Structures are given as structure tokens and as C-alpha cells.
């Protein structure tokens, strides 16, 4: 069945390059992105924050909760893994994306930590099926954790996120009076979410060194309308963009991203 599905290219997603094992020189980078992404995703990134900042205090508590979750998960997996086929399947599903993430070329920035979301979903299930979840002590701990997480959600709504890369890109586009453009799917969906800027997602084929319409979750009219800027993720995407459309008339640098601005309207034929 797997051979049949693979032969029909049903495992291939548009715009997503074939997965490979991580390059030897990128092993440290994967570990760094995994650790930082895990802390950011769980709200536990307190590094560089002043102790007087209330968000830093809650980040420390979230860090403690994350450590407790990992310890409880490991102990629970050791306890229930061999007790039944169902428990074994749940444990494997809980952990499988962690080594897959660390050993692949999927990590490109800290936001790609979303690949290990199954761990956060299934870890409580694993713990709940073990003996560690029994007794008043665990119930008290659970109540404390829920209270802390709810408090951190309230604080996160008041947090200044102006330094976030997505918001930096949004601000740069608005300040430059740019309206229509292109980006890889992640940035196209994130930057254009407010509706004041139209950004069509691009299929970045890194094997063929080409840009094309993203024929999944998009409309042909977006590409017929065109745009005059492209948000480039990395050097390879920049090289592809220059090969396809020439050198930009203006380059806006936002963190490690670059916005290529052209004096012409760029369109794509999606047929």
C-alpha cells in the first residue's frame, strides 16, 4: 500500500521539498532550533528578560511546567509502553516527530517547531494512562498548571509583539506602501492575515530552481492580478527569484528575510 501511494506521488505536497537527513554541519543548528522553538512554543522563553518583568516570571513557571511535562511523559512511557498495543501506538505517536525533526532538513527557523505539536497533544494522554495521574497530588498539580497557563494566556494578549518577525515584515510592507506581492506559504498566510495586504503563496521548487503558482489553498486570480514584491526566506530563494525576474529595484531587509521590490508587475500562469 505504501509503495502504491508513493508511486502516485500522494505523499508530495506542493512547495515542500523532498525531506532528507540533516547535513552534518547542520546538526547543531537543528538542536538549537529545537530547543529555542520548544521554549517559544510553550511560552517558556525567559532568556534575556529582566526578572522584574511579570512575563519573565510566568515564562519561568512555564519552563518548570515544560520540564515537569517532559519528566512525567518519560516516566509514563516507560510504565505503559509494553502493556498493550494501543499504549505502544500512543507512545510512538507521541515521540516519533521529535527524532524525525532533529534528524531531517525540515527545521529552517524556530517556527518549524510546529512539526512536533503531536507531542504536546499526546503527552497528556500518555500521562493520563499511567499510574502517575492517580491521587490528589496529581490533581493539585493539574489545577496549578491550568491556572498558570490561563494566566499566561491573559498576559500574552497584552504582550508587545512588535519585535516578532511577522510583525516586522508587516510594518515594513506598510511603510513602503506595498499592496500586492508573493511569499512562501507560511509568510503569505501570516503576513496577509490582517487583510490590508494581498500576498499570494508561491511554490518554491528548490530542485528545479523555479517559482510557480501554489495550486493548493489558492486562487488563480491572485496570480493573474500580479504583484511587485516577493518576500524571500533564504539565499536559495533569493537566487531563484533573481534568476526568474532579475535583480530587484529595491531590497528591504527584515531580520534574516529580504523583501525584493520590483518596478514591474509580476504575474504567473497557473494553467
Judge whether 208 lies within some domain: yes
Given a contact cutoff of 8 angstroms between Cβ atoms, the answer to whether 40 and 110 are in contact is: yes
Domain co-membership, 38 together with 104: yes
Per-residue confidence band for 35, with pLDDT thresholds at 50, 70 and 90: very high
**How many CB atoms sit inside 10 A of residue 127's CB?**
21
Domain co-membership, 55 together with 170: no
Higher local confidence (pLDDT), 163 or 90: 90
Domain co-membership, 75 together with 168: no
- Look at residue 43 in the predicted model and tell me its pLDDT: 82
Given a contact cutoff of 8 angstroms between Cβ atoms, the answer to whether 154 and 104 are in contact is: no
Judge whether 6 lies within some domain: no
Judge whether 123 lies within some domain: yes
Domain co-membership, 150 together with 37: yes
Give the total number of structural domains in the chain.
2
pTM: 0.58
- Look at residue 5 in the predicted model and tell me its pLDDT: 47
Judge whether 2 lies within some domain: no
Distance CA 76, CA 127 (A): 5
- Look at residue 61 in the predicted model and tell me its pLDDT: 86
Distance CA 253, CA 168 (A): 10
Radius of gyration (Cα) for the chain, nearest Å?
22
Judge whether 143 lies within some domain: yes
Domain co-membership, 58 together with 165: no
Judge whether 66 lies within some domain: yes
190-203 residue pLDDT tens: 888 888 889 999 98
Final residue of a domain: which of 155, 170, 187?
155
- Angle 25-31-34 from CA coordinates, rounded to 5°: 135
Domain co-membership, 49 together with 141: yes
Per-residue confidence band for 8, with pLDDT thresholds at 50, 70 and 90: low
Domain co-membership, 56 together with 70: yes
Judge whether 124 lies within some domain: yes
Q: Where is 211: in which H helix or E strand?
A: strand 210-213
Starting from the edge strand earliest in sequence, which strands make up the sheet with 257-266, in order?
A: 210-213, 198-205, 180-184, 227-232, 257-266, 250-254
165-174 residue pLDDT tens: 888 999 999 9
Domain co-membership, 29 together with 148: yes
Name beta bridge partners: 261.
Answer: 229, 250
For residue 219, what are the domain limits?
161-266
Judge whether 11 lies within some domain: no
**Predicted confidence (pLDDT) at residue 228 exceeds the cutoff of 90:** yes
Distance CA 222, CA 200 (A): 6
Average pLDDT over residues 223-248: 92
Domain co-membership, 167 together with 150: no
Final residue of a domain: which of 103, 122, 155?
155
Average pLDDT over residues 12-25: 67
Domain co-membership, 128 together with 175: no
Across the chain, what does the average pLDDT equal? Answer: 84
Per-residue confidence band for 206, with pLDDT thresholds at 50, 70 and 90: confident
Distance CA 71, CA 47 (A): 22
Please report how the helices 54-80 and 136-158 are oriented relative to each other, as an axis angle in degrees rounded to 10: 140
Domain co-membership, 39 together with 144: yes
Final residue of a domain: which of 97, 129, 155?
155
Per-residue confidence band for 113, with pLDDT thresholds at 50, 70 and 90: confident
Domain co-membership, 192 together with 133: no
Amino acid at each position: 500500500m505504501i509503495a502504491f501511494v508513493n508511486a502516485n506521488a500522494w505523499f508530495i505536497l506542493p512547495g515542500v521539498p523532498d525531506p532528507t537527513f540533516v547535513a552534518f554541519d547542520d546538526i547543531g543548528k537543528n538542536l538549537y532550533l529545537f530547543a529555542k522553538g520548544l521554549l517559544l512554543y510553550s511560552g517558556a522563553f525567559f532568556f534575556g528578560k529582566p526578572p522584574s518583568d511579570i512575563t519573565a516570571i510566568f515564562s519561568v513557571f512555564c519552563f518548570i511546567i515544560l520540564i515537569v511535562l517532559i519528566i512525567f511523559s518519560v516516566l509514563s512511557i516507560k510504565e505503559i509502553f509494553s502493556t498493550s498495543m494501543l499504549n505502544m501506538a500512543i507512545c510512538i505517536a507521541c515521540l516519533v516527530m521529535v527524532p524525525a525533526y532533529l534528524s531531517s532538513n525540515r527545521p529552517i527557523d524556530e517556527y518549524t517547531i510546529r512539526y512536533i505539536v503531536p507531542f504536546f497533544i499526546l503527552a497528556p494522554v500518555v500521562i493520563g494512562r499511567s499510574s502517575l495521574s492517580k491521587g490528589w497530588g496529581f490533581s493539585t498539580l493539574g489545577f496549578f498548571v491550568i491556572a498558570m497557563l490561563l494566566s499566561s494566556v491573559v498576559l500574552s494578549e497584552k504582550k508587545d509583539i512588535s519585535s516578532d518577525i511577522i510583525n516586522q515584515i508587516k510594518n515594513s510592507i506598510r511603510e513602503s506602501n506595498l499592496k500586492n506581492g508573493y511569499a512562501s506559504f507560511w509568510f503569505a498566510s501570516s503576513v496577509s492575515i490582517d487583510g490590508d495586504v494581498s500576498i499570494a503563496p508561491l511554490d518554491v521548487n528548490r530542485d528545479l530552481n523555479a517559482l510557480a503558482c501554489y495550486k493548493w489553498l489558492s486562487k488563480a486570480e491572485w496570480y493573474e492580478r500580479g504583484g511587485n514584491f516577493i518576500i524571500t526566506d533564504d539565499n536559495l530563494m533569493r537566487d531563484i527569484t533573481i534568476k526568474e525576474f532579475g535583480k530587484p529595484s529595491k531590497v528591504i531587509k527584515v531580520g534574516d528575510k529580504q523583501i525584493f521590490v520590483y518596478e514591474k508587475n509580476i504575474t504567473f500562469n497557473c494553467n
